[in-house]
Amino acid sequence: MRPLLLDDDRALPADPATRSVAREVYHATRDLPLVCMHGHVDAGVLAQDRSFPDPAGLFVVPDHYLLRMLVSQGAELRDLGVAAGDGPVETDPRVIWRRFCAGWHLFRGTPTRYWLEHGLHEIFEVTVQPGEDTADELYEHIAERLAKPEFRPRALFERFGIEVLATTDSPLSTLPDHAVLREQGWGDKVVPTFRPDALLHLDRPTWTADVDQLAELTGIDTGSYAGFTDALRARRRAFVEAGAMATDHGHLATDTTPLSAAEAARVYAAARAGHIEPADAAAFAGHMLHEMARMSCEDGLVMQVHPGVLRDHDPAVHALHGPDQGFDIPVPTEFTRALRPLLESFGRDPRFRLVVFTVDETTYSRELAPLAGVYPAMRLGAPWWFLDTPDGMRRFREAVTDTAGFYNTTGFVDDTRAFLSIPARHDLARRVDAGHLARLVAEHRLGLDEALETAVDLAYNLPKESYARR
């Protein structure tokens, strides 16, 4: 049995001189409230505030980071409890939990391990590492606590110190969970985010049905391009009224070239008539990013872009198990030319805020920092997904700060589906930023007082300010 302990100095630089500064910087931020401006937690979890299910259903089955690592070493998704279109699935949570525990060594050196350790120890007071020998003991230990009222979602939300949490929502959602939360006084704590990808990609199989539903929902005829954009504006207004601060856009490419009104109308009409060329669909998606920026200038919603991920790399996995099962893989992403039309139009407009994320870290020093370091509308989001790691965050600061400084970044954005990982992720980001700032202090490139101030800005003030509706 291996003990599970969290050292106070974890994830701080090893060099003693730097570490002592880092500790001081980290302490200035460790107890600040959590500002969670982008993530994928289901608002229903908080609206209903039911107890979480068993340990496997909480930690294993819904977490694609964890599933993909087990799959990479030969596990089958069905044996980990993931629904499959073609046959039986493991339903015993104890069996699933044991399979996870038996693969614990696979996570050595990964952020998943780091987040899980934090959650297990800090939230559930677990003191031994998962393993074949401890699986059943841990299961009981966690299950027992999950049954208690202080482990229900809202209690944990308060315990975590979350000040605000933004969910990500379908543009066709009427946001009923958010309405419930608002009625119960949680309207400022949980806000929706407008994510219209499905409507902007003409070639999605659901597109026609979605646009029909858009018409029904808004009472606006979406038979023409003009009606379509009016209906989108209406839905954005509904989100603003429900408290939304931002939109989010998950396009494969970053192209933002506007079409002429006539060309947009032609492509749209053809799509409504069932004729969609791939090149037209791609051009329309790029055009709509440009139009979303225009609408952000009008309604003040901060625009987030999360580009460059090829979803469902293995289509057979998608066919069997659906999306978000760990088979999403980054591709090289280009920003300088692709964002140029959008930035030309709106990059210096004081009504506009654009937050850009990437999983292609080669763009940090070459494109993203130079762009964010001059266009006032643009901020760099936190290192995303495969880069939301101790070394990934360090490389981000080292590559970006030279040209963009700290104040053209948003500070930390957790972007998690795993509610229980929220405090671990914020805590880790604060530690890594503390380590970076401490190195600047130790190398006499920054005063300690400035480092302390900057750390607080990165942890708290910059996320709030970057995502303030304009």
Between residues 107 and 228, which has the closer beta carbon with respect to a copy of itself? 107
Least CB distance to a copy of itself at residue 106 (A)? 5
| Of 166 and 404, CB closest to a copy of itself | 404
**Residue 337 binding a copy of itself, by CB under 8 A:** yes
Separation in Å, CA 206 to CA 68, 202, 258, 267: 27, 9, 24, 17
Binding to a copy of itself, residues 362-421 (CB under 8 A): 362, 365-367, 369-376, 378, 386-387, 389-392, 395, 397-399, 401-408
The binding track of 69-88 with respect to a copy of itself, each residue x by CB under 8 A or -, is x-xxxx--------------
* Interacting residues with a copy of itself between 430 and 449 (CB under 8 A): 439-440, 442-447, 449
CA 459 to chain centre: 16
203 binds a copy of itself (CB under 8 A): no
Residue 284 beta carbon to a copy of itself: minimum distance, rounded to whole angstroms: 22
Instruction: Give how many residues touch a copy of itself by CB under 8 A.
Output: 96
Q: How far is the CB of 469 from a copy of itself (least distance, A)?
A: 17
Q: Which residue number, 120 or 238, has a Cβ lying nearer to a copy of itself?
A: 120
Given the complex with a copy of itself, which of 134 and 193 has the nearer CB atom? 134
Q: Is 467 in the site for a copy of itself (CB under 8 A)?
A: no
Cβ proximity to a copy of itself: between 161 and 376 the closer is: 376
Q: Which of residues 315-334 bind a copy of itself (CB under 8 A)?
A: 315-317, 326-332, 334
For the chain, what's the residue count? 470
Task: Please report how close the Cβ of residue 203 comes to a copy of itself at its closest, in angstroms.
Answer: 17
Q: Which is nearer to a copy of itself, 50 or 313 (CB)?
A: 313
Contact call for residue 148 and a copy of itself (CB under 8 A):
no
Alpha carbon 306 to chain centroid, angstroms: 9
Number of Cβ within 10 Å of residue 456's Cβ equals 17
Show the CA angle centred on residue 194, arms to residues 188 and 197, nearest 5°.
160
Q: Taking CB under 8 A as the criterion, which residues in 4-63 touch a copy of itself?
A: 6-7, 9-18
Task: Candidates 289, 343, 452, 455: give the one binding a copy of itself (CB under 8 A).
Answer: 343
* Nearest to a copy of itself of 158, 450 (CB atom): 450
Structure tokens at 44: 């229903």
Kindly identify the residues of this chain, within the stretch 225-284, that bind a copy of itself according to CB under 8 A.
none
Comparing CB distances to a copy of itself, the nearer of 235 and 431 is 431
